Amino acid sequence: MKKRLLFLATVLSTLSLFAQPRIVSGPMLGPVELRDARIWVEVSPEVKSVALQYNKKGEKIRKTIAYKGALGNAFNPLSLTVGGLDYNTTYEYRLLVDGKLTTRGGQFTTKDLWQWRKPIPEFSFLTGSCSYFNEPEFDRPGTPYGKDASIFNTMANEKAAFMLWLGDAWYTREVDYYSNWGLWYRASHDRSVPELQDFLKSMPHFATWDDHDYGPNDIGKNYILKETSRTVFNSYFCNPSAGENGQGIYTMTSWGDADIFLTDNRWWRSADLLPDSVNGKPNPEKKMLGDQQMEWLKNSLLYSTATFKIIVVGSQVLNPVSPFDKWRDFPSEYQELMDFLTEQKINGVLFLTGDRHHSEIIKVERPGTYPLYDITVSPLTSGTHVFGAAEKNNPYRVFGLDQHQNYGRFSFSGPRGSRKLMVEFLGVKGDKLGEWAITENELKNR
């Protein structure tokens, strides 16, 4: 009897704890620019007010900004923007919930105003894709698909400028696919995993999506809950923007001499089984990015003066022998971009992709100009596999890594005119599993 009463008391105590106003996950840093910064957090339905207290590091003068949006929903992800900051300055912040100062907080440093004043800064960013967290009640039977989440503790200790998520930041399950509530639940549940929390506040985060954090496996523009999915994604990441005209999630960010274009490979995506060709010619109706986004990408590439122009895509782009979804399976649109890059003599282009549950670098030659590279980084915590079939000895692969959880570190260094990009593939404990480098002069039109 005593054991039962003790158990009941423990259960009631736990339920009471979760009924209290609390922070569910976060804080997470969003974009941190020269004069402003965004901080994201999710709070429980019982919370009545959220505010942010901040100050320059080392100073006692503190300012407070309050969240003005709605609260009390089943899921309450929100972000606060701090403006009027000084560039190249470190700030400290803490969150207030219902007027009480919490222990949740951190610090961030605004970008430096180096243009026309200083050499191009040396910097690095982290990247990766495919982050699966087990939830046995809803997982498929058998060996758990989610692996060692401590990789995020390792990543939290990196001194990087930002994290770039390449898709599948969470994995919707069958119970989520056609449930509006389920899409919100999946993002909220996976974001609250303890191993993520230190990483979320350690550096700014940017993201694109792929199929699993969009909806069911391999789905595209026909997904009936795509509007909800877009709202959820934009609520759990605070990218600089999200598409145009209320459609898509594509956006971009700049750091040092790298412009990073985050594309959306799902919102406009034709069905993968739509024929690639019609009457022996590429099918112009089969598209992955769609007309609106393609126009934006072309204009953005033409406008960019960055040494490195990194095009981020949830699916692989260049791999000719991949049996899975890739941009090459949309040959009319794919060739449109390839022709554009050649005709407009766009320098410095690299593709950065996820999805595949292995990491590799694919190289494709282009007659008369520099080759293109597709750098794939995957997986963070999902299952891995062994290179097989046509991909086992892929002649286009210049680096390959299978059977390992890993993340990528992209480091940019060197003087103007001789910049270098170093790509390192790192394991769960930060152990180096491989590296590859390229210079800006190897990415210039001949």
Q: Supply the pLDDT for residue 446.
A: 83
* Structure-token match 């320059």, residue found: 56
Question: Has residue 114 been placed in a domain?
Answer: no
Residues 271 and 345 grouped into a single domain: yes
DSSP result, 195-263: HHHHHHHHSBEEE---STTTSSTT--TT-TTHHHHHHHHHHH---S---BTTB---EEEEETTEEEEE-
Q: Supply the pLDDT for residue 7.
A: 43
Residues 293 and 333 grouped into a single domain: yes
Residues 416 and 279 grouped into a single domain: yes
Tokens representing residue 100 in the block: 């009480």
Residues 171 and 304 grouped into a single domain: yes
* Structure-token match 């390792």, residue found: 154
Residues 73 and 205 grouped into a single domain: no
> Residue 433, CB half-sphere, CA atoms under 13 Å: how many?
22
Q: Is 65 helix (H, G, I), strand (E, B) or coil?
A: strand
Q: What is the pLDDT of residues 128-142, one digit of tens each?
A: 999 999 999 999 999
The radius of gyration computed from the CA coordinates of the chain, to the nearest angstrom, equals: 22
> Residue 187: in which H helix or E strand, if any?
helix 180-191
> Please, are residues 384 and 353 in contact by the beta-carbon 8 Å criterion?
no
Last-in-domain residue among 84, 109, 134? 109
Which CA distances in Å does 51 have to 37, 41, 46, 344? 15, 11, 15, 48
> Please, are residues 51 and 41 in contact by the beta-carbon 8 Å criterion?
no
In total, how many domains does the chain have?
2
pTM to 2 decimal places: 0.95
Distance linking the first and last C-alpha atoms of the chain:
83
On the question of a cis peptide bond just before residue 275, with omega within 30 degrees of 0, the verdict is no
Task: Calculate what percentage of the chain has a pLDDT beyond 70.
Answer: 96
Instruction: Give the domain extent around 255.
Output: 123-443
Residues 166 and 25 grouped into a single domain: no
Q: What is the pLDDT of residues 19-68, one digit of tens each?
A: 789 999 999 999 999 999 999 999 999 999 999 999 999 999 999 999 99
Question: Has residue 118 been placed in a domain?
Answer: no
* Structure-token match 């692989």, residue found: 316
Tokens representing residue 28 in the block: 């997470």
pLDDT band of 11, cuts 50, 70, 90: very low
Average pLDDT over residues 148-173: 98
Distance separating alpha carbons of residues 15 and 188, to the nearest angstrom:
19
Residues 260 and 163 grouped into a single domain: yes
Residues 254 and 335 grouped into a single domain: yes
Distance separating alpha carbons of residues 308 and 348, to the nearest angstrom:
5
Provide the CATH number for the domain around residue 133.
Answer: 3.60.21.70
Residues 376 and 351 grouped into a single domain: yes
Question: Has residue 8 been placed in a domain?
Answer: no
Query: In terms of DSSP bridges, do strands 407-413 and 123-128 run parallel, antiparallel, or are they unpaired?
Result: antiparallel
Distance separating alpha carbons of residues 177 and 181, to the nearest angstrom:
10
Average pLDDT over residues 412-433: 98
Burial level of 56, CB count in 10 A (0-12/13-18/19+)? middle
Residues 255 and 212 grouped into a single domain: yes
